[in-house]
Structure 1
Amino acid sequence: MLTVDFARLPVGPGVRVLDLGCGGGRHAFEVLRRGADVVAFDMDQTELDSVKSMFLAMEEAGEVPEGAHGETVHGNALEMPFEDASFDKVIAAEILEHIPDDMAAMRELLRVLKPGGTAAITVPAFLPERICWALDEAYHTAPGGHVRIYTLAELQAKLKATGFEIGPHHHAHGLHAPYWWIKCAVGVNNDDHPLAKAYHELLVWDIMKRPAATRIAEAVLNPLIGKSVVLYVRKP
C-alpha cells in the first residue's frame, strides 16, 4: 500500500533515495523495484531487520534491477549519520506527526537532500485524524504515538520556513479513514470486534485484488476523507 505517487516523485537507476522513518519498508521496496538505490532509515531495529530480510528476498527472487542496492541504517531523524547533500530524493511517510521537534527533523531532511532534490512528505490529514482523536484517546496517547494534528497550511508553512520550495499535494487512502474511525469507536486495540475485522478484510481484499469498484470509490473519497495528505517539496 503506497502513499507516495511515484509519478510525482520519479525514481530510477542512478538515483539515491532516503526512506526516512521507513517502518515496514513499503516505499523502500518500491524504490528498489524501480532500480534506484535506497537507504531505509528508522529508529526501530526490529523493523529494519525485517526490511533487510525483504531486500535479500527480493534479490533472490530477481525483483531488483541490476545495479540497484538497498541498505538499512539505524538512527534518529534529528541527527542522521549522513553527510550534507547525500540524497537525490527523500521520502518521509507518516513520520513527522510522531516527532515533538518536527522542524528540527525538517532541517535534517533539508540538510541531507541535494540542491534541486525533491522530497515527498506525508502526514495524517486533518479531518480524519481529528475524528480519531475525538473518538479514542488511546489512539494518540500510546508511547510513540502521534503528538500533533497538521493542517495542510501548517505543514506547508513549516516546510517553507525550513527552506523548502512548496510543490503540489494530494490525498490518499480514502477507504482507510472509515476503518480507523471504526477502530477508535470500538477501542483502537480491539482487533477482534466483528465490524473492525470485517472492514479490515475488505481493505486486504482491495489491496490484493485492486478491483475497479474500490479504485473508483477511493478516487472519489480521497479529496474528501483521504487518511493521508502527501506534499511534494524541493530544495532550492
Structure 2
Amino acid sequence: MLTVDFDRLRVGRRTRFIDVGAGAGRHSFEALRRGADVVAFDQDAAELDQVAEWFAALEAAGEVPPGGEGRVQVGDALALPYPDDWFDCVLASEILEHVPQDERAIAELVRVLAPGGTLGVTVPRWLPERICWALSDSYHANEGGHVRIYRARELVGKVQAAGVRLTHRHHAHALHSPYWWLKCAVGTERESHPLVEAYHKLLVWDMMKAPALTRGLERALDPVIGKSVALYFVKPVLPAAAP
C-alpha cells in the first residue's frame, strides 16, 4: 500500500533515496524495485531487521534492477547522520505527526536533500484524523502516538520555510478512513470485533486484487475523505556564484 507517487518523486535507477521513518518498509521496497540506492531509516531496530530480510529476499527473487541496493539505518530523525545535499529523494511518510519537534525534523529532511531533489511528506488528513481523535483517546494518546493534527496549509508553510517549494498535493486511502472510524468507535484494541474483522478483510482483498470497482471508488472519495494528504516539494538549485 503506497501513499506517494514514485513517478512524481522521480525515483528510478541509482536514485539516492532515504525513507525516514521507514517502519515496515513498504515505500523502501518500492524504491528498491525501481533500482534506487535505498536507505530505510527508523529508530526501531527490530522492525528494520525485518526490512533488511525483505531487501535480501527481493534481491534473491530477482526483483532488484542492476544498480539497486537496499540497506537499513537505525537513528534519530532529528539528527540524520548524513552530509548536506546527499540524497536525490527524501521521503517522510506518516511520521511528522508523531514528532514533538517537527520543525527540527523538517529542517533535517531538507538539509540532506540535494538541490533539484524531491521531498515527499505525508501525514493524516485533518478531517478523518479529527474524527478519530473525537471517537477514541486510545487512538492517539499513547507512547509514540500522534501529538498533533495538521492542516495541510500549516504543514506546507513549515516545510517551505525550511527551503523547498511545493509542486503538488493529493489525498490517499479514502477506504481506510471508515475502517479507522469503526475501530475507534468499538475500541482500538478490539481487533476481533466482527465489523472490524470484516472491514479488514475487505481492505486486504482490495490491496491484493486491486479490482476496478474499489480502485475507482477510492479515487472518487480521496478528495473528500482520503485518510492521508501527500505533499511533494523540490529543493531549488541555487545559481552559481559570480567569479
Identity rate of aligned residues, in percent? 60
> What corresponds to 1:196 in structure 2?
196
- Partner of 1:139, secondary structure, is coil
> What corresponds to 1:93 in structure 2?
93
Q: Check whether the contact 2:10–2:118 (CA below 8 A) recurs between aligned residues.
A: no
Which letter does structure 2 place at the counterpart of 1:159? Answer: V
Q: Residues 75-154 of structure 1 correspond to what in structure 2 (within 5 A)?
A: 75-154=75-154
> What corresponds to 2:32 in structure 1?
32
- Partner of 2:147, secondary structure, is coil
Q: TM-score, normalised by structure 1?
A: 0.99
- Partner of 2:32, secondary structure, is helix
Deviation at 1:67, TM superposition (A): 1.5
In structure 2, how many angstroms separate the alpha carbons of the residues matched to 1:38 and 1:104? Answer: 23
- Partner of 2:157, secondary structure, is helix
Q: Residues 150-169 of structure 1 correspond to what in structure 2 (within 5 A)?
A: 150-169=150-169
| Gaps in structure 2 of 5+ consecutive residues | 237-243
In structure 1, how many angstroms separate the alpha carbons of the residues matched to 2:54 and 2:226? Answer: 29
Q: TM-score, normalised by structure 2?
A: 0.96
Which letter does structure 2 place at the counterpart of 1:145? Answer: G
In structure 2, how many angstroms separate the alpha carbons of the residues matched to 1:43 and 1:132? Answer: 26
> What corresponds to 2:214 in structure 1?
214
> What corresponds to 2:186 in structure 1?
186
- Partner of 2:71, secondary structure, is strand
- Partner of 1:231, secondary structure, is strand
Deviation at 1:9, TM superposition (A): 1.1
Q: Structure 1: which 4+ aligned runs deviate by more than 2 Å?
A: none
Deviation at 1:20, TM superposition (A): 0.5
In structure 2, how many angstroms separate the alpha carbons of the residues matched to 1:183 and 1:10? Answer: 36
| Count of aligned pairs | 236
In structure 2, how many angstroms separate the alpha carbons of the residues matched to 1:52 and 1:160? Answer: 33
| Gaps in structure 1 of 5+ consecutive residues | none
> What corresponds to 1:12 in structure 2?
12
Which letter does structure 1 place at the counterpart of 2:169? Answer: H
Deviations 1:204-230 (CA, angstroms, capped at 9, x unpaired): 000000001100110011000000000
Deviation at 1:134, TM superposition (A): 0.2
Deviation at 1:14, TM superposition (A): 2.3
In structure 2, how many angstroms separate the alpha carbons of the residues matched to 1:183 and 1:74? Answer: 31
- Pairwise CA RMSD: 0.6
In structure 1, how many angstroms separate the alpha carbons of the residues matched to 2:96 and 2:109? Answer: 11
Deviation at 1:154, TM superposition (A): 0.5
